[in-house]
Amino acid sequence: MLAKRIIPCLDIRDGKTVKGINFENVIDVGDPVELGAKYARDGADELVYLDITATHEGRKLFADLVRRISEHLNIPFTVGGGIDRVEDADLLLSAGADKVSINSSAVRNPALVDRIAGGFGKQFVVVAIDAQWKDDRWTVYINGGRIPTDKELFSWAREVQERGAGEILFTSMNHDGTKNGFACDALRELSQQLTIPVIASGGAGKKEHFVEVFEHGMADAALAASIFHYNEISVPELKDYLRKNNITIR
């Protein structure tokens, strides 16, 4: 069994780490460089930074932040948010990011996956997919889960894999924020249909959920935000628990 990964996620707005619900009641939860360095010291395997400003002006600020992060971090990190051109990916990778994550822009322009993978290598491309189970179907959404599309989770995941995605980051909108566990059935199906790694997102609330997502969900990595930011579960505590439950981790 390949070692599983634990990935804290940090939302960035105007250069600060924030947390909120649907971008409302957003509060500052710490400096992204210091917080990232802390997670690295605690044993996180990777980090994801999402720029929720994602404007043209915000892009330069975010690139400057990525440079500072890369100078202080000794683990891989992925950056995403508003990347809709190859030039955006180039800017962030050149600033020191290890991977870029694209979501809505890939749905609107699937060829963007081909171009970024072709220009930099598939190992640099994470395609994030937000989907909701409704009417017996996993429907893909864009714009932060606000706009439904005609795409279906599994067929879209297979398509972006063929186009050169190196990883899939799947967030179940039904589970996100509930802290009742990950969408393990859908994750298992994704993992069985794909040959690239699948990162689980949405629903982490307790240590047992990570055992479930790795054993039943067959996920290669699990991502969470609030439980780490608010010290509900620490990375060392979680990793110790996983080892005791015979989960191979890094």
- C-beta of residue 128 within 8 angstroms of C-beta of residue 103: yes
What is 129-194 written as a DSSP string?
Answer: EEEEE-SSSEEEEETTTTEEEEEEHHHHHHHHHHHT-SEEEEEETTTTTT-S---HHHHHHHHHH-
d(CA 250, CA 245): 14
d(CA 2, CA 250): 9
User: How many residues appear in the chain?
Assistant: 250
> In DSSP terms, which residues pair with 132 in a beta bridge?
139
Q: What angle do CA 101, 191, 217 make, to 5 degrees?
A: 100
- C-beta of residue 210 within 8 angstroms of C-beta of residue 218: no
Give the residue numbers annotated as catalytic, written as ranges: 11, 130
